[in-house]
Structure 1
Amino acid sequence: MRKFLALAATAAFLAGAGTAAQAADKLALVVSTLNNPFFVSLKDGAEAQAKKMGFDLIVLDSQNDPAKELSNVEDVLNKGIKVLLINPTDSDAVKAAVRTANRADVPVITLDRSANGGKVATHIASDNVAGGKMAGDEIIKLLGGKGKVAELQGVPGTSAARDRGKGFHEAIDADKGIELVASQPADFDRTKGLNVMENILQANPDIHAVFAQNDEMALGALKAIEGSGKKIFIVGFDGTDDGIKAVEAGTLAGTVAQQPDQIGALGIDAAAKILKGEKVPALTSVPLKLITK
């Protein structure tokens, strides 16, 4: 009898352990690219918060390819996830992925970049318009309200590029002494930032300042400018480790610092609320700050 009870107790324990092991809800984070320090920090913040809250988080890299993004979403939906967190490769292209999740009745949370279609439970991002305006105001200040300026844009079609540009233009368009002589995409990429900046300098050798819509492009532009021997102010965006180091060294004039790890962590918090049936706001803005030397 004792042996039977012991076996029964053991079976009950194992059954309970199996239930506990299965109790962790699966979430997925589909990231536009992990070849960018900003999105690595976003991923790290999400992973840390998921571990803290007991979630099983699947992370997939879309490698800046909308087709791979859709494939990644289809993949994680087949794995029984409860909530999809997605950092879109492109705000328009991501519509197909969001609608795929909608059809599967899986709530969608967008991070950093919004979706221009489909049903999204909440969007978590920095106020990119306000950040772009911060950068523009800083450039006006650095130039004393007079000078020629260039802009390196991010990936066309992304909400981040659109909104940062909008805020920047709001600032400089209001100052009649500032002339925008070039505005070209470099896809948030350091190497492309270098190449595009070299081309801009050839066409406009007398520019005085550059706004790069992320630190990667700003650092690429810095290489091009250093090669030219010119003194040109550069303001970046994101507040990455490399960007902040360049500001501290005096090679970048400033960077508008985001908190990508907090964006990721807040995404997990929002997923937890959704799973509890709680209401979440349509938009959560994460604070920004301008970092200068």
Structure 2
Amino acid sequence: MKKIILLLMIVNVMAFGRETPKVRIGMVLSNLENPFFKEMEDGALERARRDNVSVEVVSAEDSPVRELQEIRRFIDEKVDVLIVNPTNSHAVSRGVILANEAGIPVITLDREAVRGDVASHIGSNNLLGGNLAAGYLKENLDRGAKIVELQGNTETTASLNRSRGFEQGSLGELRIILRENADFKREHSYEIMKRVLREEIDVDGVFAHNDESALGALRAVEESGRDVVVVGFDGTDEAEEAIIQGRLDATVKQNPYEMGYMGVESAIKLTKKQWVNRKIDVGVYLIDKKTLTK
């Protein structure tokens, strides 16, 4: 009899150790090849491990079509919460509305959805970030300096607000001679800046909407031998290293790890019918060589 009881205890312990997660979260990120979104994934998975929550993370590969396919799949699989970092703030609205109709709460990260009911949006103050970038260029360049703005995907709220914030901060002091959509891509940014510099357009500074674009622009500037101040946005490890090396001038630091972490934390609260903030600001600040080498 004692042997039977002992055997049952062992089986129970083993079953407990392999307990199936009770909460399932579907997470669609715009592009997992971008280090910014990899950090977002890391934060989400770390928070999931704490509570034995199942989070399946997939990449939309910057395709609104694929994004909608993944959202539909998660809806069909009846996940408890859907977390989305939109590829396109307009296109994602269809998926948000479908999730609403299925009774699945939606959380957005970094970029907002323009339609549909979102339980919580977690991101940065992109207006402030754009303003900080303008402030740095004003401090380090003469009044009337000529600036190239390399926008991200202009169908995302993140890019639109960075541009608005930058324009507000530039008024009367910086001259934006070119705005072009680099789609948050390093190679696109490189090609744009290479063309601009080849045409010998007088450029004093660059504001890029993310660090991938900033590093692409920096490559073109370094190849040209011109003296151009380059400011990025995100604060990736590679960008910070380039700043320490004295190559990149500055970047607006975000916290994608915290976005992912808070996204899953808010999702867990929703499954417990707990209150969550409709908007969570993870903060932004500007970093340059002085702040990184203190």
TM-score, normalised with respect to structure 1: 0.93
> Paired residue for 2:249, among 243, 248, 253?
253
Give unpaired runs (5+ residues) of structure 2: 290-294
Which residue pairs with 2:202 in the alignment?
A: 206
Quote the Cα distance in structure 1 between the aligned partners of 2:227 and 2:10. 74
1:142-157 alignment runs, 5 A limit: 142-157=140-155
Change (3 A) 1:3 1:188: same
> The residue matched to 1:21 in structure 2 has which SS?
coil
Give unpaired runs (5+ residues) of structure 1: none
Which residue pairs with 1:13 in the alignment?
A: 12
Q: Deviations over 1:198-245 (max 9, x none)?
A: 222244621100000100000000111111110000000000011111
Quote the Cα distance in structure 1 between the aligned partners of 2:39 and 2:208. 20
Which residue pairs with 2:36 in the alignment?
A: 38
1:119 aligns with 2:120: no
Residue type at the aligned position of 2:209? Q
> Paired residue for 1:141, among 139, 142, 148?
139
Report deviation, 1:74.
1.3
1:168-187 alignment runs, 5 A limit: 168-173=166-171, 176-187=172-183
For the Cα contact (< 8 Å) 1:181–1:204, is it kept in 2?
no
Change (3 A) 1:18 1:290: same
Quote the Cα distance in structure 2 between the aligned partners of 1:202 and 1:40. 34
> The residue matched to 2:45 in structure 1 has which SS?
helix
Residue type at the aligned position of 2:65? A
Matched residues, percent identical?
36
Quote the Cα distance in structure 1 between the aligned partners of 2:15 and 2:79. 21
1:85-96 alignment runs, 5 A limit: 85-96=83-94
Quote the Cα distance in structure 2 between the aligned partners of 1:248 and 1:5. 65
Number of residue equivalences: 289
TM-score, normalised with respect to structure 2: 0.92
Which residue pairs with 1:84 in the alignment?
A: 82
For the Cα contact (< 8 Å) 2:96–2:118, is it kept in 1?
yes
**Mean CA deviation greater in 45-54 or 132-141:** 45-54
> The residue matched to 1:169 in structure 2 has which SS?
helix
For the Cα contact (< 8 Å) 1:237–1:257, is it kept in 2?
yes
Quote the Cα distance in structure 1 between the aligned partners of 2:20 and 2:219. 51
**Mean CA deviation greater in 192-201 or 260-269:** 192-201
Change (3 A) 1:276 1:19: farther
Which residue pairs with 1:65 in the alignment?
A: 63
Q: Deviations over 1:118-153 (max 9, x none)?
A: 110000001111011000010011103331111000
Quote the Cα distance in structure 2 between the aligned partners of 1:31 and 1:116. 17
For the Cα contact (< 8 Å) 1:90–1:157, is it kept in 2?
yes
